[in-house]
Structure 1
């Protein structure tokens, strides 16, 4: 099961997804709310915290989570100042999140260290800030942002995921559970027009 712990939070934060099952994992920690208490409402412990990327709204609560659960984060580049230590996830690596295996897909363009996670067996994409509902896509006006690279990353995700994708969990806004593949296709088109 995947639960957005930031749902309903009225502060500047990303979504923070708790994936429960055999291996409870937190995807992004969000910021400006007590994510530790939110985790504890669902599970007693975490096996890992995994980051889609290291923008402040996605890692603001990282220190609280790593301290409380005695973890080092998993991310694309654990040497970045925002993280300073942890475990590296390379493009194509496989991770168990909850009960399912997910493949890491390096998707820069919004930020150089951006990752998406896709499970073919669960038919789920964790998209971070690459794409959102209704064809929206990640900002490229921040440091490390690049529109052409973002378009390449969106197109790569379209090649990786199945057209009958069942769910897409995004870094902001609601998860997409009705025809998420079409939302990704629309994001690819919209990014080219903007």
Structure 2
């Protein structure tokens, strides 16, 4: 979304409209912004299209209620909101549209490396080697990076200043997380036998 909030032609307050119509217009503006955006839209970005007295959270709640029973919904991910198709309709979309390139198609090991990065970020390839007991290929790191799931973090303060890796906003979106705090608790994963202690 554009970060410049200086749009002089947009009347945010709508003082000439009765309160109910004003709210409805703000609601439709929020809907339009979410519809047009390919990435999560933050509270601050949505606040640029509504009046000062409007609660973005309440507008989003009302929009979500308007969408009940529809094929898509408002999802809160990566610190913002975005539209997404309800999971129930995934098979229909795959049957009718060419979405294969949008699927993650990650191996179990790819997901394990991605999880290690998420839980230990920023982390170097050497740090990943310590976790897995074997080197992690540059190809694997490159694939995760090409899919936008990881990015480079700050250079390690060690000799040679190796690159570190961190997860991205796309990672949060792909795994339906609002923040990294939404990652499963590591102890719970260990108790379920999904991670080693």
Larger % of helix: which? 2
Indicate whether the TM-score tops 0.5. no
TM-score w.r.t. length of structure 2: 0.24
TM-score w.r.t. length of structure 1: 0.25
Larger % of strand: which? 1
Larger Rg: 2
